[in-house]
Amino acid sequence: MRQDALKRASQLFLIVLLICIAGMALILAQALGLGWPDAAGLHPPGIVAVAWNREVALISGHAGHDSGAVCEDAAGVVTLTEAEVNAKIAGLAAERLRRAGASVAILDEYDARLQGLRAAVLFSLHADSCIDASGFKAAVHRYSVIPETNQRLLDCINTAYPAATGLPPHPNTVTHNMTEYHAFRRIAPTTPAAILEMGFLGGDRTLLTEHAALAAKGVSDAILCFLESEKERANERSR
C-alpha cells in the first residue's frame, strides 16, 4: 500500500512539474512574440522588439462617415458594406499588432485625432467595389516629404500582403483619391502612411469576409515588416 501511495505521489508530482514547464514555455514564447495564435492559427512574426510600444494608427475606412461601397443582391437587398468589412479586418489586425507589443489606435475615416498625428506608421484600410474583380492595391502620398520612407512602407505592403492573402496586385486602378488621400494632408508630414485597398468586395468577398484573419495577417505583417526595416536603418545610423 505504501509503495502504491508513493507511486501515485510520484506520478502526481511529475504531472504538476510538466504543467509548470509547459506554462513557463508558453510565457517565454509569448514574450518573444512566438506564440499568440489567432483565429486562423497563424502567428505574428517573432520580432516583438521592433513593435514594442511603437504607436500604430489604423483607419477603419469610412467608419463614422458612411458605408463606403454597398453590395446588393438581385432584389436590391444590401448584402455587404465596405465599412463593415474594413472594421472587422482593422480589429483583427489591431489584435495581432498589440500581441506583438505595439500600441494601436483604430481611427474613424475623418477622426479628429488625425490632425497632426505623429505615429510610427498610419495605415488606412479600405475595400474596393462590388465588381467581379480580384486584387489589392496600395498607395502613399504623391507629395510626401519622406518619399523614401513611404516607399519602404509600400514595398513591405506589396511583399507581405499578397504573401498572406494570395491576392494579386491590381496597380492600374490606383487613383488620385489614393495618392492624394485626405488623411495624408492632415497627419504630421513625417508620419509614414499608406492606404490599402484590401481586395474587391465582389471577386474577393470570400477572403474579406470568411477569411478576414488572412487579410488582417497581411496588414499586420506589412506593418511589422516596415517597423523592422526602420529599426535596422536606425541601428545602422547609430554605428
Residue-wise burial string across 88-122, b where 16 or more C-beta atoms lie within 10 A, e elsewhere? bbbebbbbbbbbbbbebebbebebeebeebebbbb
Q: Are 156 and 227 in contact (CB under 8 A)?
A: no
pLDDT digits (tens, 9 = 90+) for 67-89: 999 999 989 999 999 999 999 99
Per-residue pLDDT, 1: 53
Per-residue pLDDT, 4: 61
pLDDT at 223 over 50: yes
The C-alpha angle with vertex 123 and arms to 118 and 128, in degrees rounded to 5, equals 150
Cα–Cα dist 64/61, whole Å: 9
pLDDT digits (tens, 9 = 90+) for 124-175: 999 999 999 999 999 999 999 999 999 999 999 999 999 999 999 998 999 9
For residue 43, the tally of other CB atoms under 10 A from its CB is 17
Please spell the DSSP secondary structure of 170-239, one letter per residue. Answer: -GGG--HHHHT-HHHHHS-TTS-EEEEEEEETTTTHHHHHHTHHHHHHHHHHHHHHHHHHHHHHHHHHH-
Q: How confident is the model at residue 51 (pLDDT cuts 50, 70, 90)?
A: confident
The sign of the dihedral angle between the CA atoms of 48, 234, 186, 194 is negative
**What percent of the chain clears pLDDT 90, i.e. is strictly above it?**
72
pLDDT at 35 over 50: no
Q: How confident is the model at residue 95 (pLDDT cuts 50, 70, 90)?
A: very high
Q: Are 136 and 164 in contact (CB under 8 A)?
A: no
Q: Half-sphere exposure (CA, 13 Å, Cβ side) for 239?
A: 6
Helix or strand (DSSP H, E) at 25? helix 2-31
Cα–Cα dist 114/112, whole Å: 5
Mapping DSSP to helix (H, G, I), strand (E, B) and coil, where does residue 110 land?
Answer: coil
pLDDT digits (tens, 9 = 90+) for 2-17: 556 556 656 656 655 5
For residue 75, the tally of other CB atoms under 10 A from its CB is 6
Q: Which CATH superfamily is domain 40-238 in?
A: Zn-dependent exopeptidases (3.40.630.40)
Cα–Cα dist 94/127, whole Å: 17
Q: Report, in angstroms and rounded to the nearest whole number, the Rg of the chain calculated over CA atoms.
A: 22
Residues 6+ apart with CB under 8 A from 7: none
pLDDT at 49 over 90: no
Per-residue pLDDT, 237: 83
